[in-house]
Amino acid sequence: MNMTGSQVVVSSLQKEGVDLIFGYPGGVVLPLYDALYDFPIRHILTRHEQGAAHAADGYARVTGKVGVCIATSGPGATNLVTGIANANADSVPLVCITGQVGLAIIGKDSFQEADVTGITASITKHNYLVKNPLDLPRVMKEAFYIARTGRPGPVVVDIPKDVLTATIDYHYPEQVHLRGYKPLDEGKPAEVEQAAAALLAAKRPLLFIGGGAVSAGVAEAIIDLAETWQIPVITSLMGLGTVPAGHPLFLGMVGMHGTVAANLAVMDCDLLLGAGVRFDDRVTGLLSKFAPKAKIIHFDIDPAEINKNVPAHLRVVGHLGWSLPALRQILCTAQPLGASPERKEWIVQTTKWREDSPLVYQPDGQVLKPQYVIQELDRLTESNAILVTDVGQHQMWSAQFYRFNRPRTLVTSGGLGTMGFGLPAAIGAQFGRPDELVVLVTGDGSILMNCQEMATIVEHKLPIKVAIINNQVLGMVRQWQRLFYHHRYAYSGFAQGGTDYVRLAEAFGAVGLRAATPAEVPVVIEKALAVDGPVFMDFQVCPEENVLPMVPAGASLDQMIEGVID
């Protein structure tokens, strides 16, 4: 069948099961948009290309599908870069299609030209510059295969305009043949056997669960492993939701702003089994003192992660959907570990840490505390919303005080820490899960970075509820300046009074609400939840509040700041 390159691209999207894409048209990709006009794929016009990338990211996180976005050449493509880097850091599957100037004028500083493959080489799982129209079907097939298999990640397909307009005889390949890419789903049974033997011998084991477990869909296997063999569980920020917040074996999030129980458990365990984790610096604290008493076992699909940050005594490389059931099968031949006296003492100890040092703050009847806002959001949504966050103090308070009970219900920028991620990611999440409540918790710093996407939300009548934790400062920046820069608050505060977010919401056609006292918080949230459409809630909170506990950079996990910061 004869098709133009543009028709090939859109037909390929359809064959890959894509029914929704996010994008922004421009000159070079007009042939592609013209082809879209004749295909039953829904296109969401965001108000900025970065918004398109983050929206595709949010969609992918809540659905497990590959997110797709489109941008034109030059500035359109470069505006995707932050979103691509964000997805790469958190292993989110995206296919990003960019336009490129014609083949004859590439490299000649042409109008709206940028070296997209060069720019994105270090922030993608793979990228392509398609120079031959005949390669388009193969490249599109490979792009989706690479994005979704193995450790997921973003793939960029950069297509010159004359490739989009060329005509070829189109046949979509049924299989992918990549000599240099063979993702390993099933690994070596001997590695699992060694891990099982170490787990059986341990007296104080600890499960450390990361975002890879969410991607792999193995929450049930993790809960079964923890319950059957009585092993306490901690998670990274990205792993929240794999084990319900109220589970008796769950100790909370570990790391810089993790719980006391989780951090102390890492310091005292004799075996730490990490599944789908990167052991990044925000988790480990001082590397030389991380899990000092423990044998470390690392389960991961990506062999490059093994020993990258924390040396592993044992490794199990393979998809967690294979390795965890294989581990369970071996362990089932042994007596459950919960029967040992040492294991019972360990459970008692970790439970005591959790009960003695819960996440707390000092409530004030007159001053609105941000933690209280998150707690009320949790209570009034019955811990059942898809919670999207931006980055900063509000992100950590959300991780601490919202009770995540299901995987894929926290959408946040973990690895890159991208302010401005939240609003467009919430759009993608709402399109991906249209029947669920999507709540965005953001800061007055983050919300303005992509506030243009409020127009996208209103256009599509998306019932997203936005909670702005408005402390009129760059909260996390200010907290670090307070702790480590002698209260020298250099350029971290906003103008007195700040932005009127109620009027801003109304200017876009949304409902705007405000709360300035604790008593007003539940009233505002209940009003917002009753509105069948987008609502922006401005919570004017105490600017001096800090995220605690906190492990200072360069300190070990047992050197937490728990009390009041002067």
Q: Is 535 helix (H, G, I), strand (E, B) or coil?
A: strand
Phi-psi region of 545 (alpha: psi -120 to 50; beta: other; left: phi over 0): beta
User: How far apart (Å, rounded) are the C-alpha atoms in residues 497 and 12?
Assistant: 51
Nearest to 193 by CA among 277, 297, 276: 297
Q: Which of 3, 7, 22, 49 is catalytic?
A: 49
Strands (E), 471-565: 511-515, 535-540
112 belongs to the catalytic site: yes
Instruction: Report CA 374 to chain centroid distance, whole Å.
Output: 19
Both tokens of residue 249? Answer: 């074996």
Nearest to 43 by CA among 64, 65, 25, 29: 25
Q: Which of 14, 15, 39, 112 is catalytic?
A: 112
Phi-psi region of 300 (alpha: psi -120 to 50; beta: other; left: phi over 0): beta
Sign of CA dihedral 102, 106, 109, 113: positive
Nearest to 90 by CA among 51, 56, 53, 57: 57
Side chain identity at 67, as an amino acid letter? G
111 belongs to the catalytic site: yes
User: How far apart (Å, rounded) are the C-alpha atoms in residues 80 and 93?
Assistant: 15
Q: Which of 125, 141, 161, 295 is catalytic?
A: 161
Q: Long-range contacts of range 331-335, CB-CB < 8 Å, 24 or more positions apart?
A: 331/196, 331/199, 331/200, 331/225, 331/228, 331/229, 334/196, 334/200
476 belongs to the catalytic site: yes
Q: Which of 476, 537, 550, 560 is catalytic?
A: 476
CB 191 within 8 A of CB 26: no
49 belongs to the catalytic site: yes
Q: Is 52 helix (H, G, I), strand (E, B) or coil?
A: helix
113 belongs to the catalytic site: no
Q: Which residues are catalytic?
A: 49, 111-112, 161, 476
